């Protein structure tokens, strides 16, 4: 693993309940790169993200995260160096924006009983809230936040400990068009202000890709179909192979879009058309 790499999966396979979920997956991610992990449901995206977040170990192969090999490192300390944004954040208490961001220091969903943040930590939490457009909303509580505000608060939470790696697990889930665009603009701004930060974003909607995406990987049936420069990977041919469906990919003004390739055989379309 070279000094510039933050992630390296080498010949990774994963078996669950006798079924192989991933097969011989290998790739590396360097500091400052912004990857999109794309594939149909069941292709293995969530499993790969769980390795990136040091949440699971492979059945075969090796995983290096931030220079440490899974299985040979204290997992909790490693996880503290990884920012993870999950829109299905299971928060039950009516925490404020500031408090949600501060839970990033302890890696917990709720505020830890008896724990008090330092003034420096509170200052950083407010700085990140402001950076992500929540500067005037730090006292707003979770139940009354919009989905867009929740998403930005969770990104601020993930950045609190200044991690070199940020994982974004379908961050646009549940957002309307305006909130999604605001979130993507936030991610683009984040990439610009944190040039060394490496990010991995999981999605299967091409319109949810930030314009600052630099690389992509395409999965199919637990194997890595293609990976590399985003423009060379997200082609109509490769995406159609990944989703086993004729898809036409368009890249315009820095954004991606996908639609059915109407020039494909009518027979193929009829087979996939729901009744």
Q: What are the tens digits of pLDDT across the range 218-261? A: 999 999 999 999 999 999 999 999 999 999 999 998 899 999 88
Q: For residue 89, what pLDDT is reported?
A: 83
Measured from the Cβ of residue 253, the count of other Cβ atoms closer than 10 Å reads: 5
221 class by beta-carbon count within 10 Å (0-12 exposed, 13-18 middle, 19+ buried): middle
Provide the whole-model pTM. 0.86
Q: List pLDDT tens digits, range 36-83.
A: 999 998 899 989 999 999 988 999 999 999 999 998 988 888 888 899
Q: What is the mean pLDDT of the chain?
A: 89
Q: List pLDDT tens digits, range 86-117.
A: 877 888 889 999 999 999 888 888 888 888 99
Which helix (H) or strand (E) is 148 found in, with range? Answer: helix 147-159
The DSSP letter of residue 112 is P
Once rounded to an integer, what is the mean pLDDT over residues 151-165?
Answer: 91
Q: What residues contact residue 80 under an 8 Å CB cut-off, 6+ apart? A: 107, 161
Distances (CA, A) of 269 to 64, 235, 275: 41, 19, 12
Taken in order of first residue, the domains within the chain and their CATH numbers are 1-81+163-179+188-275 (3.40.50.300), 91-162 (no CATH)
CA angle (13 as vertex; 34, 227 as ends), nearest 5: 30
Q: How confident is the model at residue 264 (pLDDT cuts 50, 70, 90)?
A: low
Q: For residue 266, what pLDDT is reported?
A: 56
């Amino acid at each position: 693993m070279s000094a510039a790499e933050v992630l390296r999966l080498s010949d990774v396979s994963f078996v669950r309940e006798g079924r192989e979920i991933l097969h011989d997956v290998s790739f590396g991610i360097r500091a400052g790169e912004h990857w999109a992990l794309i594939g149909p449901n069941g292709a293995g995206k969530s499993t790969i993200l769980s390795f990136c977040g040091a949440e699971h170990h492979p059945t075969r192969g090796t995983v290096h995260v931030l220079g440490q090999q899974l299985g040979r490192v204290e997992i909790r300390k490693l996880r503290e160096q990884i920012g993870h944004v999950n829109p299905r954040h299971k928060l039950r208490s009516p925490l404020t924006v500031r408090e949600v961001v501060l839970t990033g220091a302890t890696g917990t969903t709720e505020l830890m009983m008896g724990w008090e943040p330092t003034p420096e930590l509170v200052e950083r939490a407010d700085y990140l809230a402001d950076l992500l457009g929540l500067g005037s909303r730090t006292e707003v509580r979770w139940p009354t936040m919009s989905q867009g505000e929740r998403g930005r608060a969770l990104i601020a939470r993930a950045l609190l400990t200044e991690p070199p790696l940020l994982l974004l697990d379908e961050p646009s889930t549940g957002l309307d068009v305006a909130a999604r665009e605001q979130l993507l603009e936030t991610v683009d701004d984040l990439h610009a202000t944190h040039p060394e930060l490496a990010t991995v974003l999981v999605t299967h909607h091409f319109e949810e890709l930030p314009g600052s995406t630099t690389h992509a990987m395409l999965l199919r049936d637990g194997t890595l179909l293609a990976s590399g420069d985003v423009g060379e990977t997200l082609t109509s041919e490769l995406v159609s192979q990944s989703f086993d469906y004729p898809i036409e990919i368009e890249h315009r003004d820095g954004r991606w879009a996908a639609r059915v390739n109407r020039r494909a055989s009518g027979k193929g379309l009829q087979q996939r058309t729901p009744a």
